[in-house]
Structure 1
Amino acid sequence: MKPNAAPAPTEKAAAKKRPLRFYLSIGFLIFSALLLIVLWLFQTVFLESFYKTVKTKQVQSCAYSLADYIDTDSFSRLVTEIEEQNSMVVGVYDTSDTEFICTYFSTAQYGFDSKISMNTVYDLYQNAVSNGGEHSTITQFKREERFFKPDEQKMREFNKEQTAASIDEFHQMHEPSLERPVSENLSYAKIVGSGDSERLLIVESEITPVNSVVGTLRIQLIIMTAIILILSIIIAVFLAKRIARPISETNEKAKSLAKQEYDITFENGEYREITELNATLTYAAGELKKVDKLQKELISNISHDLRTPLTMITGYAEVMQDLPGEMTAENLQIIIDETNRLNSLVTDLLDISRLQSNTADIKKAPFSLTKCIESIFARYTKLIENDGLIISFEHEEEVFVMGDELRITQVLYNLINNAINYIGDDKTVIVRQTVKDDRVRIEIIDHGEGISEENLKYIWDRYYRVTQEHRRAKIGTGLGLSIVKNILIAHDAEYGVESTLGEGSDFWFSLPIIPTDTEE
């Protein structure tokens, strides 16, 4: 990229977006605001309802405990403990007869004054009967009145079948009437036992007014809100910078890759994700450097291979033009051979392009792989005779595979040509066919210079050479192994290379065998 080049469209679009630190700060502040809203709601708006709900559960739990011990000697001790710990009053009424008799009442000395009128007792009893044996309600009491223990003789003269007017008249006659401020008390009634042993257990507790508490909480919450918001802003800015800074540094370094500056190292970050990202980018930079180097070598090698036949064609043509005596069949054959070589190079380049873009026409059909190899061997007869090469084909049976015979033939030609280009002093190339587990494996073996372990993973690249010096192949164009790889990938074949320095190489591929009757 040129230094003064205009920003790419993606860079312009990115410039319009807000930075990561902005979203982190806003997100943290929104979270803090939501937290404060929830705190305000629970500490002010819903405080009274939550308090009453918890108080009801507490009174109910105490009533259940008392009901279990109502007929034991531990009942009085348990009542005392409950009153001391929970500020409650307890009353027990015998409801087995038409007249209610108070058999137990607390002294109400542990937190608040209370009085339960007989109207309330009867109402609680009726509601408990209607609701399966238990009932809770909130009632109002005058603060300075005491828990009422009615006169037993008068109670016997009065029964629950009297009218409501009679009940009110009775209480007006026998209860003091004092005008005092009222407070809310929670009364919980539970019927214990049945028949002659039926009793009504009443547990009552004062509901403390929360208005004054809410006022205090509001002042505290205002102070807390200011403190939390200030701290949130400070923490949000700090975290945003801490998180965004290494990402910004990585982004700036990554821009160098677009300028083909691959000699950069991304330092480890302050947290795992950025460390992993930097490690990946460092690895990618190294791979891009290798690809860039291979690309330059590829252009250089292709230029060399194109220039060589063109130079020879031009040179021989000029000689034949200037010197009539050089117009020989041998010189013409050289021009034809170099023209064919040039044509092969262009064809191979087109093949690689089509195979890598998945546009190559692969026509799969059953064919005899064994006969295909044998026909290739017949075409190497002249080369074997002229150069003294030994090419052998080892096989035990004929096998059939499913594939594009023309493309597989191209694979075999390229692998054999590669073996000849790097043949050893014994001038021997072995093609071996073995069958195992319904698959056929073809190996092309030479005893040449071999390939080191670190170079094996690059051997399938275009124009890759173990040594940096480019040399013209004896046979082929130098693109053969890249073509082989792409054809075998298109056939879903297994392939690879095994090599030892100084001992030679073994290139192989494997295809599934199809039954012979399929071919027939």
Structure 2
Amino acid sequence: MNDFINELQLKIKRLENEINFKNGLISILSHDSKELFGTFLLLVEELEQKNIDEEVFFNFLPQVKRDAQKNLQTIQDSISWLKTQYGEFKIKPVKIMVTDLFHYLEEKYAAKLKEKNIKFYFKGDQNAFLTSDRILLEYVLDKIFNNAVKYSFQDQDIYLQVITEGDQVVLSIIDSGTGMNEKYLSGIYTYGNPIFLGTSGEKGVGLSLKIVKNFISLLYGNIQIISAENKGTTVSLFLRKFIE
């Protein structure tokens, strides 16, 4: 009887989390879409009514572009997550060398790393590997690494560290950037935290880590975030070495 009650409570908890996640997702998409199109339409209307001249209009375009890029990323993130929520989604485990993940991030973020003169290093066993779903794992690391770059200052270092402990592989992305006040850590996966700008004014919607946590659960893993203000952040993924 106790086992039945415990299982029921777990199901209720999972259902509550899913409802909160979906409600939060809808709220973010709705708010950001209104913000983007509202700003753009307001500028066009002001130009049409000759309340502003063309020079002022074009001065606002870089901000409109940044907002559009932010919203496009939100939509792409949402689509990636939604694909895992409908139908019989099944992970497709393949053997992945951790160094391949390092080179994937290194290549994808080459321009941003160069812009901030950030050095990216691999730390750990060069032969370390795991079997996992490549698409989900690359997505997760991409979002974590994007935050590491965003909140790092010029000339700082970022590490991808791998530690193998029996049947478990721990992947950590370590930066020494702005970090986060401890009071925000408990709500990192909720929708109540404020949105922080990156060290070069990069903007985000705070959605990525919420999807990341969901994806990590699909990979039968866990995520841990250790952060201190002005000292940096370490995000660790605890993953099975083998998934059948």
Decide: shared fold, TM above 0.5.
yes
Pairwise mapping of residues 267-416 of structure 1 onto structure 2 (< 5 A)? Answer: 299=27, 301-311=28-38, 313-314=40-41, 338-353=67-82, 355=84, 360=89, 362-416=91-145
Separation of aligned partners in 1, 2:25 and 2:74: 16
Higher relative contact order (CA 8 A, sep 6+): 2
Shift of residue 488, structure 1, vs aligned partner:
0.8
- Relative to structure 1, the CA distance from residue 316 to residue 435 in structure 2 (aligned partners, 3 Å threshold; closer, same or farther) is farther
Total equivalences in the alignment = 216
Pairwise mapping of residues 71-470 of structure 1 onto structure 2 (< 5 A)? Answer: 299=27, 301-311=28-38, 313-314=40-41, 338-353=67-82, 355=84, 360=89, 362-423=91-152, 427-453=156-182, 455-461=184-190, 463-465=191-193, 468=194, 470=195
- Larger Cα-atom Rg: 1
Asked whether 1:492 is paired with 2:220, we answer yes
> TM-score, normalised to structure 2's length?
0.67
Which residue does the alignment assign to 1:94? Answer: none
Separation of aligned partners in 2, 1:304 and 1:510: 33
- Relative to structure 1, the CA distance from residue 302 to residue 510 in structure 2 (aligned partners, 3 Å threshold; closer, same or farther) is same
- Does the CA contact (< 8 Å) of 1:395 and 1:433 recur in 2? yes
SS of corresponding position for 2:112: helix
Shift of residue 490, structure 1, vs aligned partner:
0.4
SS of corresponding position for 1:489: helix
Q: Which amino acid aligns with 1:378?
A: E
- Relative to structure 1, the CA distance from residue 446 to residue 324 in structure 2 (aligned partners, 3 Å threshold; closer, same or farther) is same
Separation of aligned partners in 1, 2:163 and 2:203: 26
- Relative to structure 1, the CA distance from residue 318 to residue 369 in structure 2 (aligned partners, 3 Å threshold; closer, same or farther) is farther
SS of corresponding position for 1:482: helix
Separation of aligned partners in 2, 1:475 and 1:360: 31
> TM-score, normalised to structure 1's length?
0.35
Separation of aligned partners in 2, 1:500 and 1:457: 13
Q: Deviations over 1:269-303 (max 9, x none)?
A: xxxxxxxxxxxxxxx9xxx9xx99xx68983x544
Q: Deviations over 1:304-357 (max 9, x none)?
A: 4323433565467779999889999xx6x9877654543321232344455467
- Does the CA contact (< 8 Å) of 2:98 and 2:126 recur in 1? no
- Relative to structure 1, the CA distance from residue 357 to residue 505 in structure 2 (aligned partners, 3 Å threshold; closer, same or farther) is farther
- Does the CA contact (< 8 Å) of 2:175 and 2:233 recur in 1? yes
Which residue does the alignment assign to 2:235? Answer: 507
- Does the CA contact (< 8 Å) of 2:223 and 2:237 recur in 1? yes
Shift of residue 507, structure 1, vs aligned partner:
0.6
- Relative to structure 1, the CA distance from residue 303 to residue 435 in structure 2 (aligned partners, 3 Å threshold; closer, same or farther) is same
- Does the CA contact (< 8 Å) of 2:196 and 2:204 recur in 1? no
SS of corresponding position for 1:445: strand
Instruction: Give the aligned CA root-mean-square deviation in angstroms.
Output: 4.0
Shift of residue 493, structure 1, vs aligned partner:
1.4
> For structure 1, which runs of at least 5 residues remain unmatched after alignment?
1-283, 515-520
Separation of aligned partners in 2, 1:337 and 1:455: 26
**Following TM superposition, where does structure 1 have runs of at least 4 consecutive aligned residues deviating by more than 6 angstroms?**
295-298, 315-328, 333-337
